[in-house]
Amino acid sequence: MRKMGKLRHVAAGLRDAFIARDNDVRGSWALGILYAQADLATNTVVLRLLDGEAVPASPDADAVARTYCDRTHAALAKLALPREEVAAAEVRIAFDVAPPPYGQRNGAIGDAFLLTVALALHDGREAVCSRYGFCLPEPPYRFTKRAGHGGLVR
């Protein structure tokens, strides 16, 4: 596989893992928690995958950034892509965006978000993968962890 093919493969894998329901923080879906902690002015969260930092910073966002920093380094190593060749890697989540212009919600509830994973090489080439989804900000008083562990609090 060529270098850009490997980079696109890593970006798509990170995107799919990030949007999965088993991506959790303290037992709750990470996207709902990040939505609740998003920057109020822009309604976005940016996770820098090379250094494991989040903007805006919070303990939960930083924990997610560190987790995906480790996953990024492992995926690059698995495909024999030297970390030094990657200039930038980030996950950008824009919450409360206009819904996608195609498809239906298929029963999904919440506000639309656009998740974008971008990996760039030092020579300027970039692999970008995006996906729309729907979620609500995680209200700490409403739900307790995962299904089977308490469920809805009344």
Bridge partner list, 130: 116
For residue 65, with 0-12 CB atoms within 10 Å meaning exposed, 13-18 middle and 19 or more buried, which class applies?
buried
Q: Give the C-alpha separation, 52 to 106, whole Å.
A: 34
Number of structural domains found in the chain = 1
Q: What is the pTM of this model?
A: 0.84
Supply the range of the domain harboring residue 7: 3-152
Q: Give the C-alpha separation, 11 to 116, whole Å.
A: 9
Q: Give the C-alpha separation, 6 to 127, whole Å.
A: 9
pLDDT tens, residue by residue, 91-133: 999 999 988 777 666 767 788 899 999 999 999 999 999 999 8
Confidence (pLDDT) at 121: 93
Res. 148: pLDDT tops 50: no
pLDDT tens, residue by residue, 49-78: 999 999 999 999 999 999 999 999 999 999
Question: How does residue 145 score in pLDDT terms, banded at 50, 70 and 90?
Answer: low
